[in-house]
Protein backbone atom coordinates (compact mmCIF):
# COMPACT_ATOMS: atom_id res chain seq x y z
CA UNK A 1 0.00 0.00 0.00
CA UNK A 2 1.41 3.36 -0.99
CA UNK A 3 1.48 6.21 1.39
CA UNK A 4 -0.54 9.27 0.60
CA UNK A 5 2.62 11.40 0.36
CA UNK A 6 4.40 9.22 -2.20
CA UNK A 7 1.24 8.98 -4.32
CA UNK A 8 0.85 12.78 -4.19
CA UNK A 9 4.51 13.21 -5.30
CA UNK A 10 3.93 10.93 -8.29
CA UNK A 11 0.77 12.74 -9.29
CA UNK A 12 2.21 16.26 -8.79
CA UNK A 13 5.97 16.20 -9.47
CA UNK A 14 6.20 19.98 -10.02
CA UNK A 15 4.39 20.74 -6.77
CA UNK A 16 6.62 18.29 -4.91
CA UNK A 17 9.73 20.03 -6.26
CA UNK A 18 8.40 23.44 -5.24
CA UNK A 19 7.54 22.16 -1.78
CA UNK A 20 11.01 20.73 -1.22
CA UNK A 21 12.55 23.98 -2.48
CA UNK A 22 10.45 26.04 -0.06
CA UNK A 23 11.48 23.79 2.83
CA UNK A 24 15.17 24.06 1.84
CA UNK A 25 14.94 27.87 1.61
CA UNK A 26 13.23 28.02 5.00
CA UNK A 27 15.91 25.90 6.62
CA UNK A 28 18.63 28.04 5.04
CA UNK A 29 17.05 31.23 6.35
CA UNK A 30 16.73 29.71 9.83
CA UNK A 31 20.39 28.63 9.77
CA UNK A 32 21.46 32.12 8.68
CA UNK A 33 19.42 33.63 11.51
CA UNK A 34 21.01 31.37 14.12
CA UNK A 35 24.49 32.07 12.72
CA UNK A 36 23.84 35.83 12.79
CA UNK A 37 22.62 35.63 16.36
CA UNK A 38 25.74 33.71 17.37
CA UNK A 39 28.01 36.28 15.70
CA UNK A 40 26.24 39.20 17.39
CA UNK A 41 26.54 37.55 20.81
CA UNK A 42 30.22 36.79 20.20
CA UNK A 43 30.84 40.41 19.17
CA UNK A 44 29.36 41.66 22.46
CA UNK A 45 31.93 39.64 24.37
CA UNK A 46 34.77 40.82 22.11
CA UNK A 47 33.89 44.54 22.26
CA UNK A 48 36.39 45.47 25.03
CA UNK A 49 39.26 43.74 23.21
CA UNK A 50 38.38 45.44 19.91
CA UNK A 51 38.25 48.87 21.57
CA UNK A 52 41.63 48.24 23.17
CA UNK A 53 43.20 47.27 19.83
CA UNK A 54 41.86 50.41 18.15
CA UNK A 55 43.20 52.59 20.97
CA UNK A 56 46.71 51.17 20.53
CA UNK A 57 46.80 51.67 16.76
CA UNK A 58 48.71 54.73 15.60
CA UNK A 59 46.52 57.66 14.63
CA UNK A 60 48.11 57.80 11.17
CA UNK A 61 46.61 54.39 10.41
CA UNK A 62 43.24 56.07 9.90
CA UNK A 63 44.32 59.36 8.36
CA UNK A 64 45.05 57.71 5.03
CA UNK A 65 47.90 60.07 4.25
CA UNK A 66 45.83 61.93 1.67
CA UNK A 67 46.24 65.62 1.04
CA UNK A 68 43.52 67.46 2.89
CA UNK A 69 43.35 70.95 1.56
CA UNK A 70 41.90 73.21 -1.02
CA UNK A 71 42.97 73.10 -4.62
CA UNK A 72 43.86 75.81 -7.07
CA UNK A 73 41.61 76.35 -10.10
CA UNK A 74 44.38 74.88 -12.28
CA UNK A 75 46.31 71.93 -10.83
CA UNK A 76 49.89 72.86 -10.07
CA UNK A 77 52.85 70.50 -9.98
CA UNK A 78 52.93 70.83 -6.16
CA UNK A 79 49.27 69.81 -5.83
CA UNK A 80 49.73 66.89 -8.20
CA UNK A 81 52.69 65.72 -6.13
CA UNK A 82 50.64 65.95 -2.92
CA UNK A 83 47.72 64.06 -4.45
CA UNK A 84 49.92 61.32 -5.92
CA UNK A 85 52.09 61.18 -2.78
CA UNK A 86 55.37 61.77 -4.63
CA UNK A 87 58.07 64.38 -4.19
CA UNK A 88 57.40 67.72 -5.93
CA UNK A 89 60.81 67.29 -7.59
CA UNK A 90 60.00 63.77 -8.86
CA UNK A 91 60.70 63.02 -12.50
CA UNK A 92 57.94 62.28 -15.01
CA UNK A 93 58.51 58.52 -14.74
CA UNK A 94 57.79 58.45 -10.99
CA UNK A 95 54.76 60.66 -11.46
CA UNK A 96 53.47 58.40 -14.23
CA UNK A 97 53.97 55.29 -12.08
CA UNK A 98 52.14 56.93 -9.14
CA UNK A 99 49.32 58.00 -11.45
CA UNK A 100 48.74 54.43 -12.59
First CA to last CA across the chain, in angstroms? 74
How much is the pLDDT for 25?
94
Domain extents for the chain? 1-57, 58-100
Buried b (16+ CB within 10 A) or exposed e, 54-85: eeeeeeeeeeeeeeeeeeeeeeeeebebbebe
Q: What is the pTM of this model?
A: 0.39
| pLDDT at position 1 over 60 | no
Q: What is the pLDDT of residues 2-32, one digit of tens each?
A: 576 676 667 777 777 788 889 999 999 999 9
Q: What is the pLDDT of residues 72-99, one digit of tens each?
A: 778 777 777 777 778 878 877 887 787 7
- Comparing 91 with 35, the larger pLDDT belongs to 35
Amino acid sequence: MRSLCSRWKQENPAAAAITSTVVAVGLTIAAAGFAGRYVLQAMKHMEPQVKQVFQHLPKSAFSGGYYRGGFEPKTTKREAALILDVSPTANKGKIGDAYR
